[in-house]
Homo-oligomer: A and B are copies of this chain.
Amino acid sequence: MRKLITNALIITVDQTFAIYKNGMVIIDDDVISYVGEINQAIIDQSAVDEVIDAEGNIIMPGLVNAHTHLPMTLFSGYGSGLPLKEWLEDKIWPAESKLTPNDIYIGTKMGIMQMLLSGTTCFLDMYYFIDDMARAIDEMGIRAVLSRAVMDIGGFDYRLKESIDSIKKYEEHKMIDIMVGPHAVYTNSKEGLQQILEVAKKYNKSMHVHVSETEDEVKNCNNEHGMTPVEYFDELGLFDVPFVAAHCVHVTDNDIKIMANKKVNAVHCPTSNMKLASGIAPIQQMIDAGINVALGTDGSSSNNNVDMFEEMHVAALIGKMKNGDPTALNAKTVIQMATINGAKALGVDEKVGSIEKGKHADLIMMDMKSPFSQPDREFLDHIVYSMGRGQVKMTMIAGKVLQKNGIIKNSDFKKLREQFNNCVDRLC
């Protein structure tokens, strides 16, 4: 099956950030076999099965949400505006304790609906009930990296076993990778972290951890271990495996040095950090130090959705504010954070994250003719500051068109919405 996308303005997000103003992409099954300016000779030689005319549209890589808890779509808006402690103890934790496999499946599916509508083609998750998430992922066709949250409270061994089971079960899965997911410094003991590290090493897996999200977390870690979470993790050797550090709000200069040296990936979650008033991560400083910084929505419970266009917008604005510098986090940087940097963090950058020959065709089409895309010459800036999910006219994953003009294939949304609200009524 050969598809041709033509007449497009293509933002490749490759190493040179090449942009083709009259571009085309050829896709063989799920893999890109050509990207560049329109080349009629190549078209003539190709037996194309399907032509997608992208005239007046941008084609860019699908967005990579590098930190989320997708089933928490169920808790979007729940207890919003409460102080953190009450929000967690009176709302989120009691509701989570009631979760069933079906809730996870339904919540994940709703989250994926949002993702396909808002141009996200791949995500990194940390939660539990991995198989029920995988069922929704398989049905919807999105790409994902999943990590079973492991913590000491409530059965470490059981959780680690589920984590190992998931590694084995999805070894051959084309669209799902697995990471190990120790939850955080305040929920995992030293011994637990060491055991998890052994699993990561044994199975050659990356680690996905919440790092320095709040001031209290860092303060308590300093009190207990005489070190910051980053220093502590470094000492335990956790950075010897590929490592995804979500949040990194309260990292020190020394933390940043360590992260750069050990090639730790950072994930910026500005909406969640602001909604919970946790703080603002020093993103420009991390980028300047050479750290790969990706972007994530965190769970919908502190966001209220998983729209990465909103996340790019907020990241670009707060980045300038944090630095007192309107040149910080420019549009190009933020687009890289939301695409190729995410793919790097997830360890899938050889497959996706940019539009390049040999990579899988995870890409989106953005409307350059909408009133929110004008003047059209400023398209790069508009992607970050003005266009949004409403301009995502198509979402393609592995060469398959999963969303077109706001319609998601093979989905009975009315039924899903009812199931979803029924779950919420029982949980919340």
A residues at B contact (CB < 8 Å) = 73-74, 76-78, 80-84, 87, 110, 113-114, 117, 270-271, 273-277, 279-280, 300, 303-305, 307, 310, 313-314, 316-318, 320-321, 323-328, 330-331, 369, 371-372, 374-378, 381-382, 385-386, 388-390, 413, 417, 420-421, 424-425, 428
Task: Give the contacting residue for A314; candidates B80, B314, B420, B428; CB below 8 A.
Answer: B314
A421 to B375, Cβ gap below 8 A? yes
Looking at the assembled complex, report how far the CB atom of A110 sits from the nearest CB atom of chain B, in whole angstroms.
6
**Chain B residues in 8 Å Cβ range of A314:** 313-314, 317
Q: Residue of B at shortest CB range from A272? A: B317
| Given A117-B371, A374-B110: A330 in contact with B81 (beta carbons within 8 A) | yes
Query: Contacts A77-B382, A304-B381, A331-B80: A318 and B388 contacting too (C-beta < 8 A)?
Result: no
The smallest beta-carbon distance between A413 and chain B, in angstroms, is: 7
What is the CA–CA distance of A303 and B117 in the complex, to the nearest angstrom? 24
- Chain B proximity of A228: nearest CB distance (Å): 20
Residues of B within 8 A of A78 (CB): 375, 378
Contact B80 A385 (CB under 8 A): yes
List residues of chain B with CB within 8 A of the CB of A76: 374-375, 378, 381-382, 386
* Structural contact, A318 and B320, CB atoms closer than 8 A: no
Closest to A303 in B: B385
Q: Are A372 and B114 interface neighbours, CB within 8 A? A: yes
Known: A277-B328, A374-B417. 9 other contacts (CB 8 A): A76-B374, A76-B386, A81-B326, A81-B330, A82-B327, A277-B326, A305-B386, A372-B389, A375-B424
Query: A420 — nearest CB in chain B belongs to which residue?
Result: B374
Contacts of A77 in B (CB 8 A): 375, 377-378, 381-382, 385-386
> What chain B residues lie within 8 Å of A425 (beta carbons)?
377
Min CB–CB distance A122 → chain B (angstroms) = 18
Measured in the bound complex, the distance between the Cα atoms of B276 and A80 in whole Å is: 29
Q: A378 to B304, Cβ gap below 8 A?
A: yes
Chain B residue at smallest Cβ distance from A319:
B274
Q: How far is the CA of A6 from the CA of B297 in the complex (A)?
A: 36
A159 to chain B: closest CB distance in Å? 28
Q: Which of B73, B326, B385 contacts A305 (CB 8 A)?
A: B385
**Which among B82, B273, B310, B328 is the interface contact of A313 at CB below 8 angstroms?**
B310
Whether B371 and A326, one on each chain, are in contact in the complex, defined by CB atoms closer than 8 angstroms, is no
Q: State how many angstroms separate the Cβ of A395 from the closest Cβ of chain B.
A: 13
Sorted nearest first, the 5 A-B pairs with minimum C-beta distance are: A77-B378, A77-B381, A274-B317, A304-B386, A390-B390
Contacting residues, chain B, for A74 (C-beta < 8 A):
375
Residues of B within 8 A of A113 (CB): 371
